[in-house]
Structure 1
Amino acid sequence: MQGDDSCSELSRRNQALLHLGEALKQRGYHFTTVTPATHVRINQRPENVMAVDLDGVFGWSRPFTREVIGEDLFKLMEAADVLIAGIDGFRSTVRWSSLGGELYVHSSFPTDAADAVFFGPDTYRFVQAIDCFLDRSERDVVKAVDVGCGTGAAAIRIAGRFPHADVQAVDINLRALEFTRINARLAETPGVRAIVSDLLREAEGHFDLIVANPPYMLDPAQRTYRHGGGEMGSGLSLAILDGGVARLAPGGALLLYTGVAIANGRDSFFERVAECLGATDLQWHYRELDPDVFGEELDEYAYLNTDRIAAVLLTVVRGPGN
């Protein structure tokens, strides 16, 4: 079953959330999202107990009083149903982050809910990797898909560069698809279509460009945005590689940004990739983008034998005649 695309009508609640994003844009709001560990450290400083500005409310997810944001924004938050009242003040259930001149709505901190929609340093690295690839590529993108789209940041970036392209943003998380539709409206990228799909199962056709930044952690709670499954969190990444290669159009490319657990100097994900692609005529390239991400996770039981978690980028290109 295919979900509604970004041209469909937003619910009244999501219309209010879109208007909230528009209002924040008009006020010059800008926020760069950091890792969860850094977020905790910053918020633990005594002067950061309460929000005193928009960054504190919509970026740092701090409690706030009504006066901090003013009546107009408060009413939009009420209409969007993103307010929680507590003994220490109000809190927003969403955050807004900046990337490339656009704002993206996603889940507030901490992202504990099963359907939380994550945005963070991985998102910045992922979109930067897409930009670098497209800057070097001479191929026009007519049809693209962002697998496990989350906020839709990658799909929106591609649609912004190729306004006439059909860009499908697929996810099994309905909240993520709601946020993607709002973010695409805010970025004025009508080419983005948000579709309910388990990986590529409901995506349509073959693609000039497939991009994915799947969950890659071993999460005891198995939250959708975070748990990669399989061997050391590589399950979803390998499934996307397997399914994505089959859906590449001639000359098409797959960009897979993921994280890998390095144990005793061994990258088992790279070994699986080499085994999968080594006997094919596909061109591929694999490299580390960051040798050490989410170091705090190494204290968890699942990572007791892990040296580090690295962010990697796999690029696979099908030849023009294949």
Structure 2
Amino acid sequence: MLLSAGQRAADLALLHLGRRLQADGYRFTCVTPATQARNNARSDAQQAHSMRDVFGWNRPFAEQVLSADELAQMDVAAILTRDGAGMRSRVRWSTLDDLLLLHSGYPTEDSDAVFFGPDSYRFAQLIRDHLQQRYLPVQQAVDIGCGSGIGALLIARAARHAQVTAVDINPKALRYTAINAALAGIDNIAIEHSDVLAGITGNFDLIVANPPYMLDARERTYRHGGGALGAALSLRILEQSLRRLSVGGTLLLYTGVAIVEGHDRFLQACRSSLQGPQWQWHYRELDPDVFGEQLLEPGYDQVERIAAVALSVTYTPHTGADDERVV
């Protein structure tokens, strides 16, 4: 991944800021956009008074809230904006356990925004549960559409001997993943530009993905899943991953599905793709109702709810028996 001199300086400044936050014991749990808006609308939340206010809640702040060095680093990183309300950060930092994750500021309006939020926490738990239960060691793994890199980071830290690849079509996501890996002290991650798996070679013991799954009228990369109701990218990841699993390898796909008249069309498509005794798979709803505000958007007039789901597929060509479970 080639960066210009300006991008390298900006990324070093972001890394420096992240290390300052780590040293100060910074903690912030990223919430849904609706919850963030409600918190920031409170009368006592119109100005930032702490690091969490600046880099978590993304509230406007006065110059004296940060040190001169921190302000200078924000200028170098090109993340400092100024308007009538004061100054504001273009990025946020959130935490998951002891990991510090750099991602895009609120609201995430830019087409190249890098997502992190409640879905990321559920995705992380899915990966951790799998790694705790897995008997075969992970040698080669890939995080498709890595975003902030949380999937790749968790795998690389749990399997230090493994070669983990983080891929995305968004250059900013690749930059932020590199910074987050450096903040975590993890060096067994390769960061590559790729549209799903088209840009990399080889087979994998573990493939993970948390793709966008909304129907977004603006087709923002971090949010738009494509197709009639946002499922097209998830299906493409499934199709490409099935061809790239090593024997005993597993795909973990965390996504969201639009439920229409009680029917899960994504599950129906999975059943079509996973016919045959070589696939052992498990599908379950993790949360029956997420991002309910999306139902007000164009294209969702027939959708009852959006459910967060997890699909686990393991390639076992010698078992000779189907194992389909839907919870």
**TM-score, scaled relative to structure 2:** 0.94
Does structure 2 retain, via aligned residues, the 8 Å contact 1:251–1:321?
no
Structure 1 letter corresponding to 2:265: S
Q: Residue 111 of structure 1 aligns with which residue?
A: 108
Candidates 266, 270, 274, aligned match of 1:273:
270
- CA gap 1:84/1:75 in 2 versus in 1, 3 angstroms: same
1:57 and 2:54 correspond: yes
2:31 aligned to 18, 34, 48, which one?
34
Which of 24, 40, 44 aligns to 2:41? It is 44
Aligned equivalent of 2:225 = 228
Q: State the alpha-carbon separation in 2 of the partners of residues 87 and 206 from structure 1.
A: 53
Unmatched 5+ residue regions in structure 2?
A: 320-327
Unaligned runs of 5+ in 1: none
Match of 1:253 in 2: 250
Residue of structure 2 equivalent to 1:149: 146
Compute the displacement of 1:4 (Å).
5.5
1:126 aligns with: 123
Once the two structures are superposed, residues 251-304 of structure 1 have per-residue CA deviations (whole angstroms, 9 ceiling, x without a partner) of 100000000000110000000000110235210110000000001111112111
The residue that corresponds to 2:96 in the other structure is 99
Tell whether 2:236 aligns with 1:239: yes
Query: What is the rounded CA distance, in whole Å, between the counterparts of 1:102 and 1:72 in structure 2?
Result: 24
Q: Residue 81 of structure 2 contacts residue 89 of structure 2 at CA under 8 Å; is this kept in 1?
A: yes
What is the Cα deviation at residue 306 of structure 1? Answer: 0.7
Structural RMSD (CA): 1.5
Same amino acid, percent of matched pairs = 50
Are residue 166 (structure 1) and residue 163 (structure 2) matched? yes
The list of structure 1 runs, each at least 4 consecutive aligned residues, that deviate by more than 3 angstroms after superposition, is: none
1:292 is matched with which residue? 289
Q: Distance in 1 between matches of 2:101 and 2:2?
A: 20
**C-alpha distance in structure 2 between counterparts of 1:307 and 1:144, whole Å:** 36
1:212 matches 2:174: no
Kindly indicate whether the alpha-carbon contact (under 8 Å) linking 1:298 and 1:308 is maintained by their aligned counterparts in 2: yes
1:317 aligns to 2:309 (yes or no): no
> C-alpha deviations, 1:66-102, integer Å up to 9, x for none?
1112222212212211100111110101100001201
The letter for the 1-side match of 2:149 is: G
Indicate the structure whose relative CO is greater, using CA pairs within 8 Å and at least 6 residues apart.
1
Q: TM-score, with normalisation over the residues of structure 1?
A: 0.96
Contact 1:250 1:321 in 2 (8 A): no
> For this pair of structures, how many residues does the alignment match?
317
